[in-house]
């Protein structure tokens, strides 16, 4: 928890030592707060995105670029820093921001090596078409090479099970899910960094949503 807070709060803490003007200072703090809030939202499951790994690993880079832009903007307003401006907090902040960016690069590399285990997909991965709702969500169990949860799909208009399945499959195909083995639909769980795969098996009103590191995504 302590390391997560350091990872999250280091950029605004560094900016507190670097800031020289009120206007630019407030603007940079606002952007940094937005970036941090996006990261908190991922951790708290406020929303789902396939770019989770990219946001987590790219946060230091994005924050570093915002800090750099703030420093350059203030330099235009106030002129270059003089020798006396480069005190220990300012120099330490520059080193900390650089280290923070390197940590993000290290996390991205770790994703490539370590983030291949089976996982329990979020319910938010499954986008239901209008008129269909998840009336029950159970599971969260793991097998030898996958984890899964089961959803029961209901219809607001009382559609029969086969029509529910047909509408759901059509919606998933439009959302980027492609045919896999044994009638499953598959889609990359992540984007560029996280190579894991999500799978959906649809049988009538029952949906099994599972996550694995499948290398072969074809049928």
**What's the pTM?**
0.74
pLDDT band at 85 (very low <50, low <70, confident <90, very high): low
Mean pLDDT over all residues of the chain?
85
More reliable by pLDDT, 186 or 53: 186
The reported pLDDT for the residue numbered 217 is: 45
d(CA 37, CA 94) in angstroms, rounded, equals 23
The reported pLDDT for the residue numbered 104 is: 82
Distances (CA, A) of 103 to 7, 59, 63, 70, 118: 9, 10, 13, 21, 25
pLDDT band at 116 (very low <50, low <70, confident <90, very high): low
The reported pLDDT for the residue numbered 87 is: 62
Q: What is the pLDDT of residues 39-66, one digit of tens each?
A: 999 888 888 888 888 888 889 999 999 9
Strand runs labelled E in the chain: 132-142, 147-155, 178-179, 185-188, 197-203, 206-212
210 burial class (0-12, 13-18, 19+ CB within 10 angstroms)?
A: buried
Distances (CA, A) of 3 to 8, 9, 12, 40: 9, 10, 15, 14
Residue 161: partners with Cβ closer than 8 Å, 6 or more residues away: 204, 205
pLDDT band at 216 (very low <50, low <70, confident <90, very high): very low
């Amino acid at each position: 928890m302590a390391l997560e807070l350091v990872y999250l709060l280091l950029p605004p803490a560094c900016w507190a030592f670097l800031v020289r003007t009120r206007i630019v200072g407030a603007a940079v703090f606002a952007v940094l707060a937005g970036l941090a809030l996006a990261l908190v939202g991922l951790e708290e499951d406020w929303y789902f995105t396939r770019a989770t790994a990219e946001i987590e690993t790219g946060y230091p880079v994005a924050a570093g670029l915002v800090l750099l832009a703030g420093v350059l903007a203030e330099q235009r307003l106030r002129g270059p820093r003089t020798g006396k401006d480069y005190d220990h907090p300012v120099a330490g902040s520059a080193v900390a921001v650089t280290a923070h960016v390197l940590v993000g690069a290290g996390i991205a590399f770790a994703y490539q090596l370590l983030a291949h285990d089976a996982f329990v997909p979020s319910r938010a991965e499954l986008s239901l078409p209008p008129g269909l709702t998840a009336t029950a969500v159970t599971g969260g169990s793991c097998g030898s090479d996958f984890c899964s949860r089961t959803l029961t799909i209901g219809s607001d208009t009382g559609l029969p099970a086969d029509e529910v399945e047909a509408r759901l499959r059509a919606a998933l195909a439009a959302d980027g899910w492609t045919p896999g083995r044994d009638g499953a639909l598959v889609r990359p769980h992540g984007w560029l960094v996280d190579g894991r795969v999500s799978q959906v098996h649809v049988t009538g009103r029952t949906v099994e949503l599972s996550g694995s590191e499948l290398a072969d995504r074809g049928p």
